[in-house]
Structure 1
């Protein structure tokens, strides 16, 4: 009797002990043996590990410092300035956020400013593009400047308020709130800020402006945020900063040949899609667990919930399972039918086979019909969502558009770009990504793949199709057609091989730097193209985003104006009024920035900034100088007024006998940058003046003269910052060393 009781107790204890063993295994499989698995409320899975240089992580970059002085304890990334970790899940880390702010008193003076700079350095971490840059305020523009691998990145947002426009919750389109995306692979960012009117008109209800980079969709704008003093605390508690991470700096093909390969059994290696070099490991299908820890991912018990028929038998297999019917039943294990007798089976076998064959034929036919119908509906859905109806409306009102707009199929463009392979990327911008491709007829093309677009961006996409289809000019990039069958709309352009004007001006290591005469020719041809847009098309076209990075150069360094996404066709003698200022900081017309009223002279101002870039070799916005001097246009105007142009000129263009051309172009740029738009020259006048300088002709003299700075190579005519532009004779034979405008120190 005693032996029986003992056996019963053992049987009761055995499953309990096995359950504890399995539980212990499941809890410890995410960390190395002997390592702590939790810090306070945070679970820390391998390849991360708790402890500094404790050997609990795959690399010291993944060490987690668990600070027990807090209750509960808090986790910090030990090698990246001890940034607080909120969550580690999958391929993402979420950190405690940072918020920048700027506040003013009622006299217009700054009382508080808090800037933000975060640098992930050489770590295997980068800021995820699942973050959004957000600005909240009524009189603030903010810049987020960063670095993606070796390239600089600048994003900007401007938030304003108006009595004529009603604010609304969850609306973040520039009225009280502005949001924009960041690129993949961002390693470092600096948030800087400024105001348009020193907050004087909105101080009574919005003394402060805020900006932050945080996980998208976690912040929902509320009108009360504009005057809520605890707004920063709410953001820090609810909106984390999302970080991507990778293992090493090699691809899967490269690292599988080395001893440092981190992926264990039953896992697959996946190349990084974060914009950084490196890889990650995932469990294979049918397996789960931690792919970085031995013995690797474990086979899932798919039969636990019996996916087979109730009369079927489920058998686990590596990475899957099999179904079979019990004895006395027929079928594949998912469908089991009782077998009454051998005679019945034989008698009905032929009829069943014929019935099954007919069923298969009918099923296949229905499958093909349904698939074809679904594909047609999907194409219709994409066509409508991608602005097809809007394009049809534009075509119906413009008869010539039908012959000029080619529609490409998705199959053609997938083949041309090798399924939009990452290696085919030519560049990324605010409106999408551009890929290099080759059509079946041998033509090389550039395919612009838009982001998942909002209604406003659809209008930009269709606008670019309509505008470029009407333009036929040698210095404007040619639109070959578009595709509306895909999830996002696609534009197909001629391929321009030689990068952008921005690249050639600012790449100091270029093997073939552009000379002054090339710069002068490029400026004249671009001015001619813009004059064509303003005056030669059936309806004047304003580009609205003239900048050196939107000017492409072909293999012969012939310039092509590109990126017409926010361009507008404007009726003659009208201007364009908008509630949201669009363009690029550093190139924006200040008059347009203040009034939201875009005119042909706004394009002239932006072109003037490009002229100054060509003269100075400097960028339109610089982060290496004080806030008041960041604008290249401002520094240039000050240099001209002080009669010391030489201080801002690019040393590479000071060649023999070109001083008078430089002064002529500087005069012209000065006129283009006049803050009073009515006093600027037209694009036609700018184009004619540049062509005259190229041909060594005397520039056309203006009618009004205010103040003359004698240059001995000509006369620069200026009044104050709001004066008219005037250029007088600069044909002089005096040597360069007697030219005070170019060489005098002030």
Structure 2
């Protein structure tokens, strides 16, 4: 095996002793070479360094100025604070020779005995790169160490990992002032060619090294900085072994010349280094080299404090009423100064707050009284006194806030164009539905109390009962009985559609709704026009009895032309065409809307479809066309064709047709509708009627039905109403779902 040994003596080797001078460098000394600043005790030129071993040469290589340290080390930087220099260190190689068929070794060694320098055991690591290679590092004494780098497969190599596969590292001891490296093969030369032609070993700065698999696969590690990598060298003033001895030395060689410097024993080998005292920065090896640091630039004082720079430190002060706590480094209240002021201020605040709260409470009560008067509260109370049997409650705002848990979102059971409905619990644990109404104008506020009085007197089993109101707010709030089982719309089209309801049950609910509307038209004084009749406004109680609700578009029957509405209201699909033309709401407008409800029961379809051909979107138009063409079977729901008699179905269809007449004067009244529904219901209750019309039923509808209906005794809560998106009528009280 051919061996070539290259031993570099890089740091002025084999010097037996040195005595540094304490001369001050000339101001003309060069302070920089290339990008590297040269700090004293290092220097460039004669009498510019502490002594010869700290001398640096500035050489031009390839047109670039480079600082050269020792014999041939390129200097990367000098640190006075850490007492280190970084240099480029030579990489030792162990490569296969194609000519000889053997391995050539290019070793590297350094001696720095009797110099200020030691190889840093903290920053450096001995690193070996290669496959099936052992690298050694040792000194001229008894120290010898190394590590093994192996390769099972190239696929095992990992970038950034130096754990023994392709790369290994080991630490060096403290105080090391010379070393040399060597190699040994784990296998013969021919086997190493499977992986790489070369192996490498070097003492390298650990933070600057990052293993790459390309070092093995392409043999490029030796190309780094022309075969050099960074290494860290510790330096110290080593003419004395410690600070204590250096300070006692009377030869004038003590190196810490700055008056604001401190001597610190070297951590790597004998000797000492100099540091600026706390609160100072600069070069401790020069007279007056350590200058005061303005700590206030770093904002060391707490928030609200004022920083005052001092020599070697700083002082914090706080604004009036606070004092600086050195222990906690905070501006704490000056309790002695503040207690008297605070007590006086609190007394003043208490009296002022009490007076302000009393004033505000009076103002609030005055505002509530004004609202109460505006909404007709006095008229309502007078009527309630005269009508001793009136079961109606005027709630306070506090009571309704408590009942709804301050209008918590979880209490919302419905939203619409006329307001938001909350479920509440009032006294005696009675569940109610509380509606916060939308804004209304001044004229509506004046008539509100009178209309509340009228609606409060309506007591019909098929109309949702208004149990109370709150008048001491800007917009009145209404309190209705709580209806638990959803709407007729949901029973036909929505989430309750899954219930196997019979046609007779639907007919019963529709009949009850007609009775409720008949009561509003015929028996209320003055009559009340609902204005928004639809399946979504027919609620179902715990027994699934119909309850007409949502009087958001209702008005009292107009007595003069001034009471014509100025904006068409209601729900698309249910609106009376005549009402849309005249803007005059009549009892026959409710009749038209009720006719659409009859169609929903007969067909199971929604009143208005937004998709599909335009001519088929309106349920009422499709129905009237089918009746005109004597093709009723085309629009009927398949499930009801065999459930009831043809006479019943024809009767309902004919009734719906009359309700949908384009001329309101030709439509029946709600009383006539209720009576006709009562008669038609009897057809489904007498089986002999079905026997008499069996042949006709089969020819008209085809088939019979065995469907049955059984309603479970469960409650569904108050779902939000669909379609409630029209503006509120100016003269209404309502219960919007």
- Under a length normalisation based on structure 1, what TM-score does the superposition of the two structures give? 0.46
Query: Max radius of gyration: which structure?
Result: 2
